[in-house]
């Protein structure tokens, strides 16, 4: 529809972004610390989980996904799903060599 | 849809888009135009040229194969020819084809919009198309000759051969980018520019197809972008990512290649299916059967199509588990396509059939695509594929779906929207003649390939055993019939654009979608006022009257 | 990227949501471009886990972490630049955009030093030193150079893009009432950041 949207609303305060930035820096520090510890296979898994959470913060706050319409969220999920499915099916070959 | 006629202003005051004078005039007014209709025509012209170049390579290949041994060219040339034939036909004709020409022309009109969401990006995607196409063809002139790897550029040969592979890779990359921009434009346009009242389920079915296609264009194309880039990087820097000598895995290349190239075949076929869904209701004078099934099947094809890529790789040494999974998924992907075929046939049943040229091409599509699709399912069976992989059976299969399917779908669209696009009509008698030449030529050209492939004739082979000679002979003669049909068609189209009978009536076919409610040819902004849509598409009164009668009886 | 005027004589059609939608779709293509490389990385990592561990030791974790912090900060300054222009604080917005560019440059300079240090140790595609190592290590460095190289190219493109935005802000083309271009540039920049968020642990932290 040739819609007239209401003005794009998101937080006009600097504070929330700075808080998220601090969280991102802290998470980075944690990832580095965890890598230094010897927990074998879980190092990578932990690092990736933390990275995913950092990406989530950037996506939802910095990129304003949380204030866009649901359509954008569906879009992102579809794109990630495509990558995810490719990954899983690719390994249906490689994990069984 | 039965839009209230008063909604579409018809005072005919404005010039058509062909005569419109904007910021630029003359030829600049075309090559700098951001009007989706002019861009569609620009694509049509450049695409037709590249199509004819691709046909020429195919024609010459068939001449070579008319007899065993060397006929008109040596083996190296033959290898370059099938590479160029594939690259040109796939990246310059079948993939862009219907979306770039007819999608561009018709999509905004069908949803009641004045243009696409990003008109300048639309123009840019055409520039990239032309540039990529020229790049692909210039390789012929460079020392070393054009690539001889096949359009699939498999490593390690693609890294080692001394032909101009990087030029081809770059061309494919640029063409991929053009495709991405078109897809991005169409997704945004469908979300943002539908006319008031046009909900998702009031959209014409070709929009559902183009929309699903656009998503595949956006998501799948980057994979081949990076993969081809990596082959170029490999040639330049010897990085080793796909080089077995350095620990790389050539099969991983194939996985990455087909993660795009399989969904690409759905980029090719979905728009053609959309065209079929547009044409059948008009020429059967019946509401389409199973609108929602057809709409959702487009989404399903796009989705399932990204799950099956490794069925192109059953003979390269994948794990058994991987092969079983991909074979199973391949069976699933046939289902939504079959649903469409059933719905189309159900629409035709008891319809008031008008066998004009557009419907002829559509009927041919259904026949040829079904053969192609069924043989595809056969190939999905592991035990069969082990035998027929890399034979001409595969070549026959994909020509039936890509050419018999998308190609004939393109021709159908051409003959359906021609009067609206140009305000002229082509010679219907001639079109029926070349329709039959195309259909008969096509089957003589490709059907023997199924048989000889089954009997063991390899693909991409320049020479062959005497036992295949008769099949090759029939096939080459088929190619001559087909080419005559193509030439007559091009002649008819060109002559009719220049001198065909003038058409000013808005609705020459009696269609119910928005393009048939506006001026012929359309004015610059398509509509005098954006329409307000109230009913479903393809509502044919005859349908209602008929069912009333049946109820009474 | 906004859907503004068609050819002369037609009305201007502005659709900020549509503009952002177009940029998001473009970002997906970038995501998948790099995604393809991440797929390759994961297959080879699966096949050569130990050799990847060994090779990763050559990389400087501190450098990598520092660069991660630089890029995260540049994401902050970018989004703050948008808030600033929304609040009509033009000078602050320009300043924040310039800081973003500067941080990007800083990132690239660090990258340059990292790479040249490697070259100095004879570790580059095709080098004798590298080819004498195991397959897994050769692949690790192949992936390292290609992925960080491709990422670096995107950082450079991002810098130019933001520079154009800065100029537009100065010339009042980007204003409190029309800033979707800046938002779109910001989206691009954040994606460049997100890619690095994943590159960092996968190359620097798998020792």
B459 Cβ contact list (under 8 Å, min separation 6):
B390, B391, B392, B394, B395, B453
Is residue A76 located within the same domain as residue A46?
Answer: no
Is residue A30 located within the same domain as residue A59?
Answer: yes
DSSP per position, B183-207: HHHHHHHHHH-PPTT--GGGS-HHH
Pair of tokens at residue C104: 């990007």
CB contact under 8 A, A90 and C39: yes
Instruction: Output Rg (C-alpha) for chain C, integer angstroms.
Output: 20
Is residue A58 located within the same domain as residue A80?
Answer: no
CB contact under 8 A, C9 and B239: no
Interface of B with C in 112-171 (CB under 8 A): 114-115, 117-119, 121
**Cβ contact B306:B373 at 8 Å:** no
- Please check the confidence at residue C66 and state whether its pLDDT lies above 80: yes
Q: How far apart are CA B277 and CA B362, in angstroms?
A: 9
- Taking 3-state DSSP, the helix, strand and coil percentages for chain B, each rounded to the nearest 5, stand at 70, 0, 30
Query: Is A29 among the domain residues?
Result: yes
Residues of B in contact with C47 (CB under 8 A): 249
- Please check the confidence at residue A7 and state whether its pLDDT lies above 60: no
| pLDDT value at residue B551 | 42
pTM: 0.94
| pLDDT value at residue B502 | 95
Minimum-distance CB partner of B321 among A85, A86, A92: A92
How large is the greatest C-alpha to C-alpha distance in chain C, in angstroms?
67
Q: What percent of chain C has pLDDT over 90?
A: 90
Residue B4, phi then psi, degrees to nearest 5:
-55, 120
Query: Is the peptide bond between B518 and the residue preceding it cis, with omega within 30 degrees of 0?
Result: no
In this predicted model, what pLDDT tens digit does every residue of C113-160 receive, in sequence order?
A: 999 999 999 999 989 999 999 999 999 999 999 999 999 999 999 999
Is domain C34-204 annotated with CATH 1.20.1630.10?
no
Q: DSSP letter at B456?
A: T
CB contact under 8 A, B192 and C18: yes
**Cβ contact B438:B480 at 8 Å:** no
Q: What percent of chain C has pLDDT over 70?
A: 94
Query: Is A7 among the domain residues?
Result: no
Identify the band that residue A39 occupies on the pLDDT scale cut at 50, 70 and 90.
confident
pLDDT one digit per residue (tens) for chain B, 553 residues: 444 443 455 556 889 999 999 889 899 999 999 999 999 999 999 999 999 999 999 999 999 999 999 999 999 999 999 999 999 999 999 999 999 999 999 999 999 999 999 999 999 999 999 999 999 999 888 998 999 999 999 999 999 999 999 999 999 999 999 999 999 999 999 999 999 999 999 999 999 999 999 999 999 999 999 999 999 999 999 898 999 888 899 999 999 999 999 999 999 999 999 999 999 999 999 999 999 999 999 999 999 999 999 999 999 999 999 999 999 999 999 999 999 999 999 999 999 999 999 999 999 999 999 999 999 999 999 999 999 999 999 999 999 999 999 999 999 999 999 999 999 999 999 999 999 999 999 999 999 999 999 999 999 999 999 999 999 999 999 999 999 999 999 999 999 999 999 999 999 999 999 999 999 999 999 999 999 998 888 887 654 444 444 444 3
Residues of B in contact with A79 (CB under 8 A): 219
Identify the band that residue A10 occupies on the pLDDT scale cut at 50, 70 and 90.
low
CB contact under 8 A, A63 and C76: no
| pLDDT value at residue B364 | 98
Residues of A in contact with B321 (CB under 8 A): 92-93, 95-96
Is residue A36 located within the same domain as residue A77?
Answer: no
CB of A87 less than 8 A from some CB of B: no
Report chain B residues touching chain A, CB-CB < 8 A: 113, 191-196, 198, 215, 219-220, 223, 255, 259, 306-307, 309-310, 318-322, 325-326, 530
Domains of chain B from N-terminus onward: 5-9+17-552 (1.20.210.10)
CB contact under 8 A, A93 and B195: no
CB of A80 less than 8 A from some CB of B: no
| pLDDT value at residue C3 | 41
- Please check the confidence at residue C7 and state whether its pLDDT lies above 90: no
B291 Cβ contact list (under 8 Å, min separation 6):
B201, B205, B536, B537, B538
Domain count, chain A: 2
Identify the band that residue A43 occupies on the pLDDT scale cut at 50, 70 and 90.
confident
Is residue A78 located within the same domain as residue A47?
Answer: no
Q: How far apart are CA B166 and CA B142, in angstroms?
A: 12
* Domain assignments of chain C as residue spans, ordered by start: 34-204
Where in the sequence is the domain holding A80, given as residue range(s)?
A: 65-97
CB contact under 8 A, B318 and A93: yes
Query: Is A9 among the domain residues?
Result: no
Our CA-based measurement puts residue B277 at a distance from the nearest CA of chain A, in whole angstroms, of: 23
Query: Is A4 among the domain residues?
Result: no
Query: Is A79 among the domain residues?
Result: yes
Whole-complex ipTM:
0.93
Task: Determine which of C40, C48, C180 to mutate to test the interface with B (most B C-beta atoms within 10 Å).
Answer: C40
Identify the band that residue A12 occupies on the pLDDT scale cut at 50, 70 and 90.
low
Is residue A46 located within the same domain as residue A69?
Answer: no
Is residue A76 located within the same domain as residue A56?
Answer: no
């Amino acid at each position: 529809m040739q819609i007239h949207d209401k003005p794009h609303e998101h937080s006009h305060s600097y504070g929330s972004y700075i808080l998220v930035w601090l969280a991102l820096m802290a998470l980075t520090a944690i990832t580095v610390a965890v890598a230094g510890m010897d927990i074998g296979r879980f190092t990578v898994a932990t690092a990736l989980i933390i990275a995913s959470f950092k990406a989530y913060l950037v996506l939802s706050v910095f990129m304003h996904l949380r204030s866009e319409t649901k359509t954008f969220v569906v879009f992102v999920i579809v794109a990630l799903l495509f990558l995810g499915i490719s990954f899983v099916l690719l390994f249906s070959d490689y994990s069984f060599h | 849809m039965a839009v209230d006629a008063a909604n579409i202003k018809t005072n005919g005051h404005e010039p058509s888009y062909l005569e419109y004078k904007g910021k630029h005039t003359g030829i600049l007014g075309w090559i700098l135009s951001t009007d989706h209709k002019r861009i569609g025509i620009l694509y049509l012209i450049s695409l037709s040229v590249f199509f004819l170049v691709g046909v020429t390579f195919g024609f010459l290949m068939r001449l070579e194969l008319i007899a065993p041994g060397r006929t008109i060219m040596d083996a190296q040339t033959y290898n370059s020819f099938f590479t160029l034939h594939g690259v040109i036909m796939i990246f310059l004709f079948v993939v862009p084809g219907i979306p770039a020409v007819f999608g561009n022309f018709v999509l905004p009109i069908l949803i009641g919009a004045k243009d696409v969401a990003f008109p300048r990006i639309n123009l840019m995607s055409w520039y990239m198309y032309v540039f990529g196409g020229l790049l692909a063809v210039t390789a012929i002139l460079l020392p070393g000759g054009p690539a001889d790897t096949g359009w699939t550029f498999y490593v390690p040969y693609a890294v080692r051969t001394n032909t101009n592979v990087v030029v081809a890779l770059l061309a494919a990359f640029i063409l991929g980018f053009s495709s991405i921009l078109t897809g991005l434009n169409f997704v945004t346009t469908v979300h943002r520019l539908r006319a008031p009242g046009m909900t998702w389920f009031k959209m014409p079915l070709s929009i559902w197809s183009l929309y699903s296609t656009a998503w595949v264009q956006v998501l799948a194309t980057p994979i081949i972008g990076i993969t081809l880039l990596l082959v170029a990087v490999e040639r330049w820097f010897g990085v080793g990512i796909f080089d077995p000598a350095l620990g790389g895995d050539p099969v991983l290349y194939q996985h990455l290649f087909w993660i795009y190239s399989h969904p690409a075949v759905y980029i090719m076929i979905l728009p053609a299916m959309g065209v079929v869904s547009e044409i059948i209701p008009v020429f059967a004078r019946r509401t389409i059967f199973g609108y929602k099934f057809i709409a959702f099947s487009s989404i399903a094809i796009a989705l399932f199509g990204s799950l099956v890529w490794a069925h192109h790789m059953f003979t390269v040494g994948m794990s058994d588990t991987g092969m079983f999974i991909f074979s199973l998924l391949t069976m699933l992907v046939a289902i939504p396509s079959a649903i469409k075929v059933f719905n189309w046939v159900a629409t035709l049943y008891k319809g008031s059939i008008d066998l004009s040229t557009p419907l002829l091409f559509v009927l041919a599509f259904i026949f040829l695509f079904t053969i192609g699709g069924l043989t595809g399912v056969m190939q999905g069976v592991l035990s069969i594929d082990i035998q027929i992989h890399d034979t001409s059976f595969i070549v026959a299969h994909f020509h039936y779906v890509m050419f018999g399917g998308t190609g004939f779908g393109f021709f159908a669209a051409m003959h359906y929207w021609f009067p609206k696009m140009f305000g002229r009509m082509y010679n219907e008698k001639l079109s029926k003649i070349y329709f039959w030449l195309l259909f008969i030529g096509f089957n003589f050209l490709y059907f023997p390939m199924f048989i000889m492939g089954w009997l063991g004739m390899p693909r991409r082979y320049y020479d062959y055993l005497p036992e295949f000679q008769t099949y090759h002979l029939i096939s080459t003669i088929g190619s001559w019939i087909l080419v005559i049909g193509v030439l007559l068609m091009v002649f008819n189209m060109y002559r009719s654009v220049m001198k065909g009978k003038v058409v000013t009536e808005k609705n020459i076919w009696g269609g119910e979608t928005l393009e048939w409610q506006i001026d012929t040819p359309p004015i610059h902004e398509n509509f005098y006022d954006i329409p307000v849509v109230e009913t479903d598409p393809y509502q044919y009164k005859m349908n209602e009257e008929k069912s009333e009668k049946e109820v009474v009886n | 990227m906004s859907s503004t005027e068609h050819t002369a004589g037609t009305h201007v059609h502005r659709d900020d949501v549509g503009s952002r939608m177009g940029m998001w779709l473009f970002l997906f293509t970038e995501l998948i471009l790099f995604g393809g490389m991440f797929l390759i990385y994961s297959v080879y990592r699966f096949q050569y886990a130990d050799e990847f561990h060994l090779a990763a030791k050559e990389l400087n974790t501190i450098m990598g972490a520092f660069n991660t912090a630089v890029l995260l900060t540049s994401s902050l300054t970018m989004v703050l630049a948008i808030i600033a222009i929304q609040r009509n604080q033009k000078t602050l917005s320009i300043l924040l955009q310039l800081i973003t560019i500067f941080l990007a440059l800083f990132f690239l300079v660090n990258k340059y030093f990292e790479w040249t240090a490697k070259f100095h140790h004879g570790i580059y595609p095709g080098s004798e030193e590298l080819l004498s190592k195991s397959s897994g290590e050769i692949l690790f460095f192949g992936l390292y150079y290609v992925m960080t190289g491709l990422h670096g190219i995107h950082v450079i493109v991002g810098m130019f893009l933001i520079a154009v935005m800065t100029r537009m802000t100065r010339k009042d083309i980007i204003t409190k009432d029309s800033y979707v271009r800046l938002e779109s540039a910001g989206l691009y920049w954040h994606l460049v950041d997100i890619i690095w968020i994943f590159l960092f642990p996968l190359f620097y932290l798998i020792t």
